[in-house]
Structure 1
Amino acid sequence: MTDTVVDQTQSAAEGDRSTRAAIATMYRLTTGHRASLTLATVLTLVGSALGLAQPLAAKQVVDASGRGQVLWPLLLLLAGLFVTEAATGAVGRFVLERMGEGIVRGLRHSLVGRLLRLEMREYDRLRSGDLISRVTTDTTLLREVVSQALVDLLTGALVAAGAIVLMAWIDPLLLLLIAATVATAAAIVASLLKGIRAASERMQTSVGAIAADLERALGALPMVRVHRTEDREAGRIGECVESAYSAGVRTAKLASVMSPAVELAVQGSFLIVLVIGGLRVNGHANSLGDLVAFLLYASYLVLPLSSVFRAVGLIQRGMGAYQRIEQALSLPAEPSQETPTVRARTREPARQTVSYEKPALALRDIGFGYDPSRPVLRGLSFTAPHRCQTALVGLSGAGKSTIFALISRFYEPDSGTLLFDGLPATELSRAACRGRIAVVDQNTHVVHGTLWDNITYAAPDATEAEVRRAVELAQLEGVVRRLPGGLSGMLGERGSRLSAGERQRVALARALLARPSILLLDEPTSHLDTLNETALTTVMKDVARECALLVIAHRLSTVQHADRIIVLDEGRAVACGRHEELLTSSPTYRELAAGQMLRPAATPPSPVTTARHPHSPL
């Protein structure tokens, strides 16, 4: 679906590269800001009109001087026109800049809201660094387009038209000669615009790739350092830098050809006015005042024409950034609104006392695959009762983490039904489903901020007593004492001041503080020493008295105290029971358990054990 949307967007972009279509697209971005756009345009036009009046005033000054008339009223008028033009132009520019910032603010809000709600399959396919660059780099370029190019294009064209009309009134012959020179420059500029846009699109894409690759390297910096791959990563990013450089150079090359063309047209126009106009004054075809006025209009024509050429080029560059933003906004996201039926069913549990007659969680004949042609879960069914500790065990690839992803509604099952307290998940909003659960992932997430910020992330209104209780349950008292500032101590980027085990306990405290009805623990003891593992086992028993506890486990010590154990094999539940029962009834579980029973904690595994059990058990 996403590929189709992106392909359609790209096809539309390829077939819609005309300057007129690009201008129309940029104009659509100003929706909601048309009043500011109109005001800025009017102010700019007023200022330009005042500017157009100045050469006429100067003509009167020159002619009055030749006739020996009083000059100071005309000089005051000329000064007044100049000051008023400057003030009007300044106000108009401020309105434009504010409008541009407002448009970019709206785009960034839309992008951030969209990117945070994309379907999880999109994050599997796309790179986060490139998505981030669309919020930052691309919108910044687009701000310059909408805050300058559109008005410059309109006012520049109108002012140029006004100047041309007045020049035609003063001397039509000189105007025709100038028009031929300008037309030549315009033809050159038009031939360069398509190349400028293509180069700009490639440069923006390369800049996005730089951000993505740099985010990739910095996110795994300890691994990069240990394996001494700094040069390799720098080389990978350097290729994107070189691509951006070559695209930027091409843009500069085309722009460097365009600028002299405009400059030659301007200089040629001045030479024509001076030479031909001077000859016509000597021949008494025109007065000296006419020549001065025409020359001023010719010089005044330079700025609007330059702004028109610049605006067209800038719009073509901005279209490259706009296409990337449009692609991001068209990516499929999780629904933000539910149907009336879903809203009604979502409110039911809030009004009623939770019934423990139905299981907190039930999976019925669930089938799912990240790639539909390669299923991960095949007809999986099991239940997780309230106030019960349920463990999921199986070899790597059996589907344990995928089950957690489905329970979290990151993905939807291809077949079967997922139920919360007997209610199908499809009749509940995703927010309602996620409001029932808390997750302690194996890849623990610690955000930049204080220990308090991280623990209260899911419950920002929690009291200090509640936070202290969560800290105690998660065995975080030592971390609180060690950190400068205690609960207010900063944890560093991604929790760099904490060990892996401490980060996991922070995640556990965060989950416990949310008081979920279903707590999902993904290998909760993987980073804990024996002492803390024993303490966590006690905590899990206490938690299981309050909610349904679903644990992915690879350690026998975690599994053997569970109320029920689900044995998974190739996406199916092949056995269910307690530890002692499964040892006698399930060959799969017995094999998994034997792998740890034969493996003393203080000694490395023997070659025989490793050969018999090549996969990590439980």
Structure 2
Amino acid sequence: MDAAGDGQIRNTLKNKWSAYQERRQTYFWVLSYLKPYRGSLIALIVMGLVLALGEISIPQFLRYLIDVVVPEKSNTLFFTALAVLILVLGLMFAATALCNILERSVQEKAARDLQLSLFTHLRKLGFAYYEQHPTGETLSLFNHNLTAVQKIYTQYLPLIIRHLLLILVPLVMVLHMNTKLTLFILPCYFLYYLIGPTIDGKTAMYFKQQTQERERLNQKIYNSVSSLVEVRAFGATSWEVGRFTETYEQYAKTRLGSLLYRHLQFSFRMTATAVGVILMYILGSQSITSGSMSVGTFVSFTIYILMIFRSIGRLTFQLLEQSYCIGQAQLLYQYAQHKPVVQEDRKPRFLSDIAGALTFSEVHFSYRGRSPVITGFTAQILPGQKTALVGTSGGGKSTLLKLVGRFYDPDQGQILLDGVPLTELSLSQIRESIGIVFQETYLFGLSIQENIRFGRPDASQADIIAAAKAAFIHDFILELPEGYDTLVGERGIRLSGGQKQRIAIARMFIKNPSIILLDEATASLDTVSEKAVQHALQALLASRTTIAVAHRISTIRDYDQIIVIDQGKAVEQGTYEELVRQQGIFYQLVKGEELHEEQLGLDMAIHT
């Protein structure tokens, strides 16, 4: 064999070893959630052993009945043996009840801990994770992968322990009863493994592909539902159905392949078992004829062998099913090992009072794998000062807001809050001191008052009403049939854009942050709605440090300072009048907006 062939073999073995190591790490990670309940787990194993001993006593009762009681025709021996059997069955009943209680306790607690741990981790990952991973992928992890992994606790692990005990205990008995016959029969069962590994490999491959295709299908379903309005508006229903059908057919193909090889596994295993049973009866009849084994002993031996074969089959099935779950657990394990882009300092600092002064010092930032967005941005924002960021699209304005909220950290330079670097402060204090109004406000499918209360969960009804009044949304709410108890629908679908934005502003009033970030908060609103929202914003921004990304320059005329950003840098800075007098980039933006508004007015006049 040449060197290239040797190298290929080594790479194959290396890849297989790496895959094994990854699966092993994943399995130990899943089992780590059982550590707090190891006492209950040990008790569960002990109860399982009691049940196994109880089960092997039943064939011994039959052996005693056939070899001793029947030949002697003794009622006393029969009833004595029956009483012992009833006592054993009673102990088995009690052990089964206790075993079920322990199983449920361990299963549910471990499954709960895993789910809470993953959900908590999801909240820690932040903006970076959500912007890089589709929503459908995350939903698939929590809906399918997590459910599959929880089956390890609730189904596979308990059964694996039980079947393993029901193999080992009867195996000790048959080896004690007839070692030679046992050693002849058991290898027959393992004939399956002459071709079994090939079938197992194919099954695992198809199951992995099935998992991947199901994720694609879930993502497709999510996209189809989310884009329903656009698809119908463009008359693209047939196109969308075609794409969905193609995705589903690929999933069905891998699903059928997985089922085929799983049934082949079962068929070959049953064939191997049948060969072993036939050999057992041939050799057993010879042993009875020669007098080396009694009829009762052979009957109990047969029951033990069938018990072992049955338990091996079920154990193998459970191990295979568990291995499929481990394949899905690998995605969860990789997700759990995903480190948040932003991490809190081990000993974060807490400010006794936040004034709201912000300092940007030579800030550089780029999203992973992309060109730099912020390149040396420097600026000073005083407490209570209203600052607007303007510039062409893609210049880094919204990115700066994300940096202020510590959704990302700068690659170079630093941002200081009241003279302290953001990286040294507690994340909770940063988030509590900052309020953000996005262009698209997310409302929960709850009542209006619950959506406002989201700003401060312990707020009273009076606080909510006061916040709504300050946001100029109170009168509108009272006009609704159910007032503050009105359900807004999914993502606030029952409300207009302006109404949703004013509820978001009410949230900010009730949260009462020191710093307000406005990310084009009125960009998607019509003129009437924008005026109402701007009216509410004026009250909100009073005496608060404000940074606004403005899409209409006319809305920031009264701001304390305006920073013009070009290619990630602050190229102009001053008040509205000062920047207009400079006749630089800002002046061009103002003239461009005026020309655009004049053109819109002319178009409206022509059409009317």
Q: What residue is the counterpart of 1:247 in the other structure?
A: 254
Q: What residue is the counterpart of 1:349 in the other structure?
A: 352
2:595 to 587, 595, 598: 598
Q: What residue is the counterpart of 1:613 in the other structure?
A: none
- The residue correspondences of 1:288-367 to structure 2 (distance < 5 A) are 288-333=295-340, 337-340=344-347, 342-343=348-349, 346=350, 348-350=351-353, 360-367=357-364
1:213 to 220, 235, 246: 220
**Cα distance between partner residues in 1 of 2:32 and 2:197:** 23
> Are the counterparts in 2 of residues 360 and 420 from structure 1 also a CA contact under 8 Å?
yes
> Are the counterparts in 1 of residues 517 and 548 from structure 2 also a CA contact under 8 Å?
yes
Q: What residue is the counterpart of 1:487 in the other structure?
A: 484
- The residue correspondences of 1:374-389 to structure 2 (distance < 5 A) are 374-389=371-386
> Are the counterparts in 2 of residues 553 and 559 from structure 1 also a CA contact under 8 Å?
yes
* Residues 1:382 and 1:499: Cα distance change in structure 2 (over 3 Å): same
> How far 1:590 sits from its partner (Å)?
1.8
* Residues 1:606 and 1:216: Cα distance change in structure 2 (over 3 Å): same
| Structure 2 residue matching 1:410: 3-state secondary structure | coil
> How far 1:492 sits from its partner (Å)?
1.0
> Are the counterparts in 2 of residues 203 and 248 from structure 1 also a CA contact under 8 Å?
yes
**Cα distance between partner residues in 2 of 1:373 and 1:265:** 58
Q: Is 1:38 aligned with 2:45?
A: no
> How far 1:460 sits from its partner (Å)?
1.4
Letter in 1 for 2:263: S
> How far 1:164 sits from its partner (Å)?
2.8
1:506 to 496, 503, 506: 503
* Residues 1:495 and 1:230: Cα distance change in structure 2 (over 3 Å): farther
* Residues 1:141 and 1:600: Cα distance change in structure 2 (over 3 Å): closer
Q: What residue is the counterpart of 1:614 in the other structure?
A: none
- The residue correspondences of 1:98-117 to structure 2 (distance < 5 A) are 98-117=105-124
- The residue correspondences of 1:193-592 to structure 2 (distance < 5 A) are 193-333=200-340, 337-340=344-347, 342-343=348-349, 346=350, 348-350=351-353, 360-371=357-368, 374-592=371-589
Q: Is 1:49 aligned with 2:46?
A: no
| Structure 2 residue matching 1:116: 3-state secondary structure | helix
Letter in 2 for 1:589: F
> How far 1:94 sits from its partner (Å)?
4.1
Q: What residue is the counterpart of 2:74 in the other structure?
A: 69
* Residues 1:168 and 1:12: Cα distance change in structure 2 (over 3 Å): closer
**Cα distance between partner residues in 2 of 1:87 and 1:366:** 69
> Are the counterparts in 2 of residues 442 and 522 from structure 1 also a CA contact under 8 Å?
yes
* Residues 1:285 and 1:433: Cα distance change in structure 2 (over 3 Å): closer
1:174 to 170, 181, 185: 181
Letter in 1 for 2:273: V
Q: Is 1:161 aligned with 2:168?
A: yes
> Are the counterparts in 2 of residues 504 and 527 from structure 1 also a CA contact under 8 Å?
no
**Cα distance between partner residues in 2 of 1:296 and 1:262:** 19
Moved more, 240-249 or 416-425: 240-249
**Cα distance between partner residues in 2 of 1:91 and 1:188:** 41
Letter in 2 for 1:326: Y
Letter in 2 for 1:157: L
> How far 1:363 sits from its partner (Å)?
1.8
> How far 1:18 sits from its partner (Å)?
10
Q: What residue is the counterpart of 1:58 in the other structure?
A: 62
Which digits, 9 at most, give the CA deviation of each residue in 1:29-71, with x for residues without a partner?
5322222221111111111111111111111111211221222
Normalising by structure 2, we get a TM-score of 0.88
Letter in 1 for 2:501: Q
> Are the counterparts in 1 of residues 52 and 165 from structure 2 also a CA contact under 8 Å?
no
> How far 1:323 sits from its partner (Å)?
1.0
**Cα distance between partner residues in 2 of 1:163 and 1:41:** 16
Moved more, 495-504 or 387-396: 387-396
> How far 1:116 sits from its partner (Å)?
1.3
* Residues 1:333 and 1:235: Cα distance change in structure 2 (over 3 Å): farther
> Are the counterparts in 2 of residues 560 and 579 from structure 1 also a CA contact under 8 Å?
yes
* Residues 1:533 and 1:15: Cα distance change in structure 2 (over 3 Å): closer
Which digits, 9 at most, give the CA deviation of each residue in 1:125-182, with x for residues without a partner?
2223222322332222222223443444444334323323322333344323321321
* Residues 1:537 and 1:286: Cα distance change in structure 2 (over 3 Å): closer
| Structure 2 residue matching 1:377: 3-state secondary structure | strand
> How far 1:265 sits from its partner (Å)?
3.2
**Cα distance between partner residues in 2 of 1:111 and 1:24:** 16
> How far 1:605 sits from its partner (Å)?
6.7
**Cα distance between partner residues in 2 of 1:93 and 1:189:** 33
Q: What residue is the counterpart of 1:611 in the other structure?
A: none
> Are the counterparts in 1 of residues 200 and 265 from structure 2 also a CA contact under 8 Å?
no
Normalising by structure 1, we get a TM-score of 0.87
> How far 1:25 sits from its partner (Å)?
6.2
Letter in 2 for 1:69: S
> Are the counterparts in 1 of residues 565 and 572 from structure 2 also a CA contact under 8 Å?
yes
> Are the counterparts in 1 of residues 445 and 492 from structure 2 also a CA contact under 8 Å?
yes
Moved more, 309-318 or 76-85: 76-85
> How far 1:27 sits from its partner (Å)?
4.6
Alpha-carbon RMSD: 3.0
* Residues 1:310 and 1:558: Cα distance change in structure 2 (over 3 Å): same
* Residues 1:388 and 1:286: Cα distance change in structure 2 (over 3 Å): closer
> Are the counterparts in 2 of residues 525 and 558 from structure 1 also a CA contact under 8 Å?
no
Moved more, 127-136 or 61-70: 127-136
Letter in 2 for 1:253: L
> Are the counterparts in 2 of residues 583 and 589 from structure 1 also a CA contact under 8 Å?
yes
Instruction: Give me the identity figure in percent.
Output: 25
> Are the counterparts in 2 of residues 192 and 258 from structure 1 also a CA contact under 8 Å?
yes
| Structure 1 residue matching 2:114: 3-state secondary structure | helix
> Where does the alignment leave 5 or more consecutive residues of structure 1 unmatched?
1-9, 608-618
1:96 to 103, 111, 118: 103
* Residues 1:148 and 1:549: Cα distance change in structure 2 (over 3 Å): closer
| Structure 1 residue matching 2:312: 3-state secondary structure | helix
| Structure 2 residue matching 1:16: 3-state secondary structure | helix
**Cα distance between partner residues in 1 of 2:105 and 2:534:** 58
> Where does the alignment leave 5 or more consecutive residues of structure 2 unmatched?
1-13
Q: What residue is the counterpart of 1:612 in the other structure?
A: none
Letter in 2 for 1:507: A
**Cα distance between partner residues in 1 of 2:196 and 2:26:** 16
* Residues 1:157 and 1:114: Cα distance change in structure 2 (over 3 Å): same
Q: What residue is the counterpart of 1:123 in the other structure?
A: 130
**Cα distance between partner residues in 1 of 2:475 and 2:228:** 27
Letter in 2 for 1:375: P
> How far 1:26 sits from its partner (Å)?
5.6
> Are the counterparts in 2 of residues 131 and 208 from structure 1 also a CA contact under 8 Å?
no
**Cα distance between partner residues in 2 of 1:529 and 1:602:** 17
Letter in 2 for 1:281: I
**Cα distance between partner residues in 2 of 1:89 and 1:323:** 33
Which digits, 9 at most, give the CA deviation of each residue in 1:263-307, with x for residues without a partner?
223333333344443344345443221222222222322332123
Q: What residue is the counterpart of 2:156 in the other structure?
A: 149
Letter in 1 for 2:175: A
* Residues 1:338 and 1:415: Cα distance change in structure 2 (over 3 Å): closer
Name the count of aligned residue pairs: 588
Which digits, 9 at most, give the CA deviation of each residue in 1:299-329, with x for residues without a partner?
3223321232123212321220221111001
**Cα distance between partner residues in 2 of 1:222 and 1:179:** 64
**Cα distance between partner residues in 2 of 1:19 and 1:582:** 61
> Are the counterparts in 2 of residues 23 and 150 from structure 1 also a CA contact under 8 Å?
no
Letter in 2 for 1:566: I
* Residues 1:142 and 1:539: Cα distance change in structure 2 (over 3 Å): closer
> Are the counterparts in 2 of residues 47 and 85 from structure 1 also a CA contact under 8 Å?
yes
**Cα distance between partner residues in 2 of 1:301 and 1:22:** 30
> Are the counterparts in 2 of residues 266 and 302 from structure 1 also a CA contact under 8 Å?
yes
Letter in 2 for 1:59: R
| Structure 1 residue matching 2:372: 3-state secondary structure | coil
